[in-house]
Structure 1
Amino acid sequence: MADDTIENAKAALRLKALAARAALPQGTRTEAAQAVAEHFFNNIELASGAVVAAYWRIRDELDCQPILVRLMDSFQPVVLPVVLGPEEALEMRVWEQGAALYPSGFGTLAPAELAPQAEPDVVLMPLLGFDRLGTRLGYGGGYYDRTLAQLTKRPRLIGLAFAAQELDAIPREAHDIPLDVVVTETGVRHFGSSQ
């Protein structure tokens, strides 16, 4: 498959995934976020002191605040991504207990500019879609691809999504790093060597 063909296929899948996600009622979204948090904490083992990269929900993504709150309450180190520019990697800033968050573009919030940075051991990833092989479909900006490529270690990649976001198959390019795990309101699925 040529790159243009793959990009066209991904663009069509993004439209399908956006529509499926947008169709979910608000009550379903809230319940799903709570269920995902329960599945996450009941099934994902986090080493003490492991740095977890989370995200602040934008648009109609699955809200990971229930996970964030529990991570912060248990003093698990948390970083939040900050977009610096359209062709740059995300900056992972430490969110310390009690520290304020500030608007950082795209409708998201992040720690202050002077917050320390840290490389994550675990990355909780928002997504538009995923398939049975753990391929993640993002928005197409390449932010996570660039960020993962410049890290000095390979973190565990955990996608957070609604079950309705599962697609039959997503074309995977060489730079697309598959998820290790996806957590939806229906449970946890492991892919590849993380099974």
Structure 2
Amino acid sequence: MNQAQAQFEDEKTRLRQRAFEQRGAIARADWADMAKDAAAHFLEGVPIATGKVVALYWPIRDEIDCKPLLTALVDSGQPVCLPVVLGDGEPLELRLWEEGQPLYPSGFGTLAPAETAPVVEPDIVVIPLLGFDKLGTRLGYGKGYYDRTLARLSKKTLLVGYAFSGQELDFIPRETHDMPLDILVTETGIRKFPVA
């Protein structure tokens, strides 16, 4: 790793620490209402054609809870898939979750459909994040799971960040492999970003 890359990684580490602190400062008493508001904004403002597959996630730690959105989509008959971690350095496997099917622990405190569930390519990817900026750059946990997953998809997907508004950072440096968000959904509304 050269000096410029080392400085870049140091800056990302500092930003992740700040993002964890900001997210951790959001009042837990407000989480449930914020999650419901974010789901309502998503359903009102993100275009989803009938039958298009939406990739969601099972929230961990103090991520905004996307279960209200997950429930609303499944109840409406919209196909939903959830990610499965296959191993370090691997892309995520996105498995279709069909109504009534159980979910199983799949690492990092997440739940996912069974191994027998169909593997699909989503049309919309709702992605958790640590932080975001006004340019639609997202800050993840640094493991690269979503970067690898998005890079291997055979079609362009709509990339939707899902977060608390309090997770905004002033600026996040972006590398060439970092895919910016198309849309950001928080409890306060929706932001759309121009294609980079």
> Do these two structures clear the TM 0.5 threshold for a shared fold by scoring above it?
yes
Shift of 1:23: 1.3
Counterpart residue number, 1:28: 30
Q: Are positions 1:105 and 2:113 aligned together?
A: no
C-alpha distance in structure 2 between counterparts of 1:172 and 1:193, whole Å: 14
Aligned AA (2:174): R
Aligned mate of 2:40, from 18, 38, 41: 38
Tell me which residue corresponds to 2:54.
52
Deviation at 1:193, TM superposition (A): 3.6
The count of corresponding residues between Structure 1 and Structure 2 is 194
Q: Equivalent residues in 2 for 1:77-92 (5 A)? A: 77-92=79-94
Task: Report deviation, 1:152.
Answer: 0.2
SS where residue 168 of structure 1 aligns?
A: coil
Q: For 2:66, which of 64, 67, 73 is the aligned residue?
A: 64
2:82 counterpart of 1:94: no
1:152-182 C-alpha deviation (Å, 9 max, x unpaired)? 0111000000011000000000110000000
Q: Once the 2 structures are TM-superposed, how far is the Cα of residue 114 of structure 1 from its aligned partner? A: 1.1
Determine if the alignment matches structure 1 residue 191 to structure 2 residue 193.
yes
Residue 20 (structure 2) aligns with:
18
Is the counterpart of residue 177 in structure 1 residue 179 in structure 2?
Answer: yes
Q: Separation in 1 of the partners of 2:47 and 2:189?
A: 15
Identity rate, percent: 58
For 2:82, the aligned partner's letter is: L
Q: Does 1:139 align with 2:152?
A: no
Deviation at 1:28, TM superposition (A): 1.4
Aligned equivalents of 1:38, 1:191: Cα separation in 2: 20
Q: Secondary structure at the match of 1:81?
A: strand
Structure 1 stretches of at least 4 aligned residues deviating more than 3 Å after TM superposition: none
Tell me which amino acid in the other structure corresponds to 1:97: E
TM-score in terms of structure 1 length = 0.97
Unaligned runs of 5+ in 2: none
Aligned Cα root-mean-square deviation (Å): 1.1
Structure 2 counterpart of 1:51, which letter?
V
* Distance in 1 separating the partners of 2:157 and 2:4: 29
1:153 maps onto 2:162 in alignment: no
CA distance in 2, matches of 1:191, 1:7: 25
Residue of structure 2 aligned with 1:127, choices 113, 123, 129: 129
Question: Counterpart of 1:2 in 2: which secondary structure?
Answer: helix
Partner of 2:4: 2
Partners of 1:171 and 1:193 in 2: CA distance: 17
The residue that corresponds to 1:163 in the other structure is 165
- Per the normalisation by structure 2, the TM-score is 0.97
Distance 2:13 2:147 in 1: 17
